[in-house]
Structure 1
Amino acid sequence: MADRQPLPPSPSTKRKLEDDAPEPAVEKKRKIKKAKTPRQRPGEDFDDTQGLNLAIGRMDSQELITYVDSRTKQFEPKISEMELEDQRLLVKSIKDTSLWQETRDKQHMPEFLENVASESLSEAAKSHGSPHTLVVAGAGLRAADLTRALRKFHSANGAVAKLFAKHIKIQESIDFCKRKRITIGVGTPQRIIDLLENGALSSKDLKRVVIDASHVDAKRRGILEMKDTLNPLVKLLNTPLLRDRFTDGSTTVIFY
């Protein structure tokens, strides 16, 4: 019997074989994720290289109040206008420093303070724990940096005091304030509140409260842009010991 030749595949079989064949490999393009740039809001103009919100330095007293109100409403959406009014600083309590042209970084803070002060910043009151200036920062590490930057005002009769929680226990701060004359106190809002309420820190010779507001982190967040720092700051500025001094003009608030 002659060998039977295999029949050619039928059209339907041929289509099935083609359908079952593996798809040729397609090289997928790797997607490169771009770093998101935080959304910029009114009152913000960032220098990411220096870590600064440049807009803060250009605001006058009323604009600063409006900016703080806007951030408060963002973090406390249910706050009433009456509650907002109760904690709002008076325009006359805030010193307008918008004419200052230098960069508001830690290196220029000593020069800035000398510009806004009429007295020698190296002279301390005779009473212990009674600074003429309080500098308020958003975090302990930033407060430590500012303390080092302000060392030029540390003198034989007055210290530049570290008033923050990072590595410093509250009792250590209390003991320091009770036994030292202080020119400038640098700290975080809650630690300063605790020391004022304890009585270790006095406000009777206080001439200015300087808020380190221009400094921001890599995510463009500063002391005014985070709930965890803005709320304690607002609380500090509304403590009766300070609020009364802001009202009668004995102490001014300065946004750096």
Structure 2
Amino acid sequence: ECFLKQPEEKEKSTEKPKRRRKKKISDVLAKSAPKAGVHEDLQMLLNKHFGAQRSVIELEELKLPDSCFLPANDLTHSFSSYLKEICPKWTKLRKNHKEKKSVLMLIICSSALRSLELIKSMSAFKGDCKIMKLFAKHIKIAEQMKMLEKGMIHLGVGTPGRIKALIEQDGLSLNSLKYLILDWNWRDQKLRRLIDIPEVQKEIIDLLEMRIIKLCREESVKLGLF
């Protein structure tokens, strides 16, 4: 007698199907060559953020005029050489600065650590001006407000969140502000620029909307992308 052998059932696979890994911003940026930021990038960022929320008239009020933009860094400059190029009359400007609670130049970075790096790298530009750290790490806001009230500060370097908070609490005035520089091209360990970090991007937009855009439209403040 002939018996047909039944094929053995294959053991059911206990392995779970692999989940598709979500693409991170660092994956995208790692494959792209560094590209210098231009002022159209900032305007596009504002349009994208406010496009669905504002009317055509309101969007027009958020438009930054071309005349308010300084030459952008083409990735060949050191920080000092860039500042020298965009602000050739810095020495005269800082000598004439008399207003407390206000600064002539604000430099916006993504983190406290990056702020410290930039402060160290601007020695060839700053001369004998007084620089103040405007970030939250290890520094209380009340402490910063006292320093701004007492001393004559020429240049502030910090994060958008803390700078915004100081303005809101009347600790920092924008009356003397002439230049606002965004540390646009620098990338962190994850290859993110400051505008690639959602919370930092939102704080920058809030800060610009608060009063900077109005001052740019009045031609009293110039914007630079380093």
Q: Which TM-score band (shorter chain)?
A: 0.7 to 0.9
Cross-structure match for 2:15: none
Deviations 1:62-115 (A, max 9, x none): x23443246526xxx8434535444332332222x14x54435xxx11110000
In structure 2, distance between residues paired with 1:175 and 1:167: 16
Once the two structures are TM-superposed, the CA of residue 194 in structure 1 deviates from its matched residue by 2.0
1:206, CA displacement in angstroms? 1.6
Asked if structure 1 preserves the Cα contact closer than 8 Å seen for 2:80 and 2:122, the reply is: yes
Q: Give the aligned residue type for 2:36.
A: A
Determine if the alignment matches structure 1 residue 94 to structure 2 residue 69: yes
Distance in 1 between the 2:59 and 2:32 partners? 25
Q: Which residue of 2 aligns with 1:251?
A: 221
Offset, 1:154: 5.0
State whether structure 2 residue 122 is matched by structure 1 residue 141.
no
Query: Percent identity over the alignment?
Result: 23
**2:28 maps to which residue?**
39
Structure 1 SS opposite 2:28: coil
Computing the radius of gyration from Cα coordinates, the structure with the larger value is 1
- Give the TM-score taking structure 2 as reference length: 0.76
Q: Are 1:12 and 2:3 counterparts? A: yes
Count of aligned pairs between the two proteins: 211
Hey, what does 2:158 align to over in structure 1? Answer: 187
Q: Which runs of 4+ in 1 moved over 6 A?
A: none
Q: 1:173 aligns with which of 144, 159, 167?
A: 144
CA change 1:203–1:69 in 2 (3 A) is closer
The one of 107, 131, 142 equivalent to 2:103 is 131
The CA deviation string for residues 118-149 of structure 1, in whole angstroms up to 9 with x for no partner, is 31359352233332211011222222221222
Give the alignment's Cα RMSD to 1 decimal: 3.2
Instruction: Tell me what 1:28 maps to.
Output: none
**1:110 aligned residue:** 80
Q: Gaps spanning 5+ residues in structure 2: where?
A: 12-20
Gaps of 5+ in 1: 1-9, 24-32, 48-53
